């Protein structure tokens, strides 16, 4: 376990009650009273609470440094950010790393119900965005496939690649398409993937790389959405 502290100062707070010296004194006193010493490193930013995250270099360094079971101490919750969504993201990132956030002015209790709600909202939005990215990628791939463009990776069994208008496109390989038809017939008769592979191998039919068929290769051929 390593203990870190984070201090943030807005430019208009230099002579007010949130100076670096006051924040550090408050954190040090709390750490001493709660046996949270030594503090390994203090991360600092001199940015407004609503500044974009990537501009808070100290905070970004802190989030990249912490790991499981570490502790992060701040004087007040608004030292992390004054932006609610930013705050939710920061707290979620700390939790994701397996670290603990300790807030001095709540006597170390960081389980504020509203902030917990924000963490859930931010997490939900992040998952939503991940799903949207997957959907967009899938739609793009399906669009390319419908146009006959090669999607990258290995060439699927049953097809060859040719260049048309500087784009790689899939074209059907007649002999391999006949093998695919045989595989489908075998499957309809109830043969297992392994049995189908054995039948092809016994006939001397090989894969694209001139190797014997395995069960997984038969499954890929059956699963592939042939145009």
What's residue 81's pLDDT?
A: 83
Domain that holds residue 219: 159-223
Regions of the chain short of the pLDDT cut 50: 150-151
What's residue 201's pLDDT?
A: 93
What's residue 115's pLDDT?
A: 57
Same domain, 167 and 103: no
What's residue 141's pLDDT?
A: 58
What's residue 150's pLDDT?
A: 45
Considering the domain boundaries, does residue 113 fall inside one? yes
Considering the domain boundaries, does residue 181 fall inside one? yes
Q: Which of 98, 96, 80 is nearest to 43 (CA)?
A: 80
Same domain, 210 and 99: no
How many separate domains does the chain show?
A: 2
What's residue 151's pLDDT?
A: 47
Considering the domain boundaries, does residue 130 fall inside one? no
What's residue 76's pLDDT?
A: 87
Domain boundary among 94, 122, 150: 122
Same domain, 10 and 107: yes
């Amino acid at each position: 376990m390593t203990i870190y502290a984070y201090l943030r100062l807005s430019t208009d707070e230099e002579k007010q009650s949130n100076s670096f010296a006051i924040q550090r004194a408050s954190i040090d006193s709390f750490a001493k009273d709660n046996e949270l010493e030594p503090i390994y490193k203090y991360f600092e930013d001199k940015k407004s609470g609503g500044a974009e995250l990537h501009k808070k270099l100290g905070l970004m360094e802190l989030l990249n440094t912490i790991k499981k079971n570490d502790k992060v101490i701040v004087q007040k919750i608004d030292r992390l950010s004054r932006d609610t969504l930013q705050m939710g993201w920061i707290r979620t990132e700390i939790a994701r790393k397996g670290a603990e956030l300790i807030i001095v002015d709540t006597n170390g209790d960081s389980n504020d119900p509203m902030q917990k709600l924000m963490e859930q909202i931010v997490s939900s939005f992040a998952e939503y965005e991940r799903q949207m990215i997957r959907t967009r990628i899938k739609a793009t791939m399906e669009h390319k496939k419908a146009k006959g463009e090669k999607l990258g990776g290995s060439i699927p069994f049953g097809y060859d690649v040719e260049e048309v208008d500087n784009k790689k496109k899939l074209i059907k390989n007649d002999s391999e398409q006949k093998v695919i038809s045989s595989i489908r017939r075998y499957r309809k008769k109830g043969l297992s993937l392994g049995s189908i592979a054995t039948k092809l191998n016994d006939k001397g039919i090989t894969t694209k790389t001139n190797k014997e068929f395995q069960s997984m290769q038969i499954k890929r051929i059956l699963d592939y959405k042939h145009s």
